[in-house]
Amino acid sequence: MLKSERSVYELWLEYTRLTLCDVGNTTFDFYRDDVKEKIFVADYELKKSDEKIFYICVNEKIANDLKNFPNWIDLKDFVDMKNYYETMGIDRIMGCEAVQNGVIIDAGSAITVDVVKNGKFSGGYITLGLHRSHEAYLQISPRLDYSYNFEIDLDKMPKNSQDALTYGQLGLLYRDVMSYDLPVYLTGGDASKLSSIFKDAILDEELLFKGMKNILKKGDLC
């Protein structure tokens, strides 16, 4: 049983106007009353308040700062980590907590792919995001300065350089993801771009917040 005076579920009942926050390296993404608000880290000043904010954080410096603010409640403390692995990112975990069966693709600076079956994390992997992979190709040769072709026909082998790069990054990703024969969920900054490739995928920009809500609803974890 987690060491807490009250269950997370009791907190959930008390604070009906729930405030969630996904703290990244560059922004605070707030979610209140089904409304999202993005504030850049450089523009946000932490203040002590009575408002309870349930958060996840991948920014180590900010995570340390938030420990000084008792109204900020780290949802990582309420995750049953035996379902995951120690170094797994909390953002990936929240994506998995939002889905009962599916493949979750979070397309940000990195692209993460996680598989959930019957509510259990089955495994996942990390690859370069679209922008980072483009930069990597440029380091190989300036002749590889091509944008991705999101209208590519993945049933045909490429016959030009742009499609060859696209196929190498997105074609292989597509084939792997579809091999699990599960619903596909897209989230993250480049999710809308990938929706052209994963045409039947569920595009959900609030997926991580849904996972955060599910953690709260579970109450105490044994």
Is 33 among the catalytic positions? no
Tell me the C-alpha distance between 173 and 197, whole Å: 10
Residue with structure tokens 């696209």?
166
Q: Which of 33, 43, 74, 91 is catalytic?
A: 91
Separation CA 3–CA 179 (nearest Å): 41
Q: Are 39 and 19 in contact (CB under 8 A)?
A: no
Q: Angle formed by the axes of helices 90-97 and 207-218, to 10°?
A: 80
User: HEC profile for the chain?
Assistant: CCCCCCCHHHHHHHCCCCEEEEECCCEEEEEECCEEEEEEHHHCCCCCCCCCEEEEECCHHHHHHHCCCCCEEEHHHHCCHHHCCCCCCHHHHHHHHCCCCEEEEEECCEEEEEEEECCEEEEEEEEECHHHHHHHHHHHCHHHCCCCCCCCCCCCCCCCHHHHHHHHHHHHHHHHHHCCCCCEEEECCCHHHHCCCCCCCEECCCHHHHHHHHHHHHCCCC
- Residues known to be catalytic: 91
